[in-house]
């Protein structure tokens, strides 16, 4: 079946409510659903719990929702690139649940697979383990991590057919396949839209059964979180005495 094709604001208009939980794909600024995040900001929805690897940067990505104070709680692994996030957290304006990156990924995967929780060694003996059930297996202590289920998931994909079968591009795949499964409604923002049947089934990363709505966003801005340049070739003669 062809999935509804909407603008970002149309795709979210009847899904949003104050106090909801959203799962959002991306890693840093790579693979984030830019148009859907902007539509969230413009919607005015508040008191959000957002599950995402990170909180974007100041003024971009989920950082826009931090600045507008629409997020009440973040469940994340890494937030070091957002100074406003840090300010709100330290002042008590923003609640944060830190999760080791692999545990966060597995919690979303478990939510999508119908698994209530899982035991892991990661975090044992640290602040992450406080208040969580511990159990020994083979003489080794593990802690129980609960699955994550969101109300709505937002993902970014490189290509999709009209049935919602998604293909991610290189490292932009990151958390998106896991996010796509852990909510009853997934909205996919895609750069390229092709006809159903034109994708190689072996190349599909997220089957269309997980996707309920599509947003065609062909020219995302794709900002770079940290630009690192390698040193160029040294000009001839630099640092050496030139022969006369």
Tens-digit pLDDT profile for residues 170-193? 999 999 999 999 999 999 999 999
With cut-offs at 50, 70 and 90, classify the pLDDT of residue 232. Answer: confident
Higher pLDDT, 117 or 239: 117
The residue count for the chain:
244
With cut-offs at 50, 70 and 90, classify the pLDDT of residue 237. Answer: low
Q: Is the pLDDT of residue 243 over 50?
A: no
Are the beta carbons of 56 and 64 closer than 8 angstroms?
A: yes
d(CA 223, CA 30): 8
Are the beta carbons of 51 and 148 closer than 8 angstroms?
A: yes
Q: Is the pLDDT of residue 244 over 80?
A: no
Q: Tell me the per-residue pLDDT of 64-120, one tens digit each, with 9 for 90 and over.
A: 999 999 999 999 998 888 899 999 999 999 999 999 999 999 999 999 999 999 999
pTM here is 0.91
What confidence score (pLDDT) does residue 63 get? 96
22: in domain = yes
Residues linked to residue 73 through DSSP beta bridges, in sequence order:
49, 95
Q: Tell me the per-residue pLDDT of 200-221, one tens digit each, with 9 for 90 and over.
A: 999 999 999 999 999 999 989 8
With cut-offs at 50, 70 and 90, classify the pLDDT of residue 236. Answer: low
With cut-offs at 50, 70 and 90, classify the pLDDT of residue 226. Answer: confident
235: in domain = no
Burial state string for 40-68 with b = 16 or more CB within 10 A and e = fewer than 16: beeeebbebbbbbbbbbbeebbbbbbbbe
164: in domain = yes
Residues linked to residue 135 through DSSP beta bridges, in sequence order:
142
What confidence score (pLDDT) does residue 40 get? 98
Higher pLDDT, 230 or 75: 75
95: in domain = yes
Instruction: Output the domain CATH number for residue 185.
Output: 3.40.1080.10
SS3 126: coil
**HSE toward the beta carbon, residue 116, CA cutoff 13 A:** 0
Cβ within 8 Å of residue 200, ≥6 positions away: none
Q: Is the pLDDT of residue 133 over 90?
A: yes
31: in domain = yes
Cβ within 8 Å of residue 225, ≥6 positions away: 28, 29, 30, 57, 81
Q: Is the pLDDT of residue 241 over 60?
A: no
Are the beta carbons of 25 and 154 closer than 8 angstroms?
A: yes
Which phi and psi (to 5°) does residue 60 adopt? Answer: -145, 155
Tell me what percent of the residues of the chain surpass a pLDDT of 90.
86
202: in domain = yes
Range of the domain at 100: 5-115+148-216
CB atoms within 10 A of CB 70: 19
243: in domain = no
236-243: average pLDDT: 46
SS3 27: strand
- C-alpha 80 chain-centroid distance: 15
Q: Is the pLDDT of residue 222 over 80?
A: yes
Residues linked to residue 143 through DSSP beta bridges, in sequence order:
120, 134
58: in domain = yes
Residues linked to residue 211 through DSSP beta bridges, in sequence order:
none
Q: How many domains does the chain have?
A: 1
């Amino acid at each position: 079946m062809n999935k509804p094709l909407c603008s970002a604001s149309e795709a979210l208009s009847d899904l949003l409510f104050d106090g909801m939980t959203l799962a959002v794909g991306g890693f840093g600024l790579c693979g984030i659903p830019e148009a859907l995040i902007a539509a969230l900001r413009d919607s005015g929805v508040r008191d959000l719990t957002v599950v995402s690897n990170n909180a974007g940067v100041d003024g971009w990505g989920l950082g826009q929702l931090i600045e507008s104070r629409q997020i009440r709680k973040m469940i994340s692994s890494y937030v070091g690139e957002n100074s406003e996030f840090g300010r709100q957290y330290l002042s008590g304006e923003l609640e944060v649940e830190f999760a080791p990156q692999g545990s966060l990924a597995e919690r979303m995967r478990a939510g999508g697979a119908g698994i209530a929780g899982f035991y892991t060694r990661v975090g044992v003996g640290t602040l992450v383990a406080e208040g969580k059930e511990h159990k020994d297996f083979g003489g080794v202590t593990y802690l129980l991590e609960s699955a994550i289920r969101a109300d709505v998931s937002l993902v970014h994909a490189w290509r999709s057919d009209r049935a919602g079968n998604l293909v991610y591009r290189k490292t932009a795949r990151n958390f998106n396949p896991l996010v796509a499964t852990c909510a009853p409604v997934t909205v996919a923002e895609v750069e390229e839209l092709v006809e159903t049947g034109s994708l190689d089934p072996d190349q599909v990363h997220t089957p269309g059964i997980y996707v309920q709505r599509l947003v065609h966003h062909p020219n995302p801005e794709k900002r770079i979180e940290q630009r690192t340049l390698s040193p160029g070739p040294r000009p001839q003669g630099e640092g050496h005495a030139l022969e006369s």
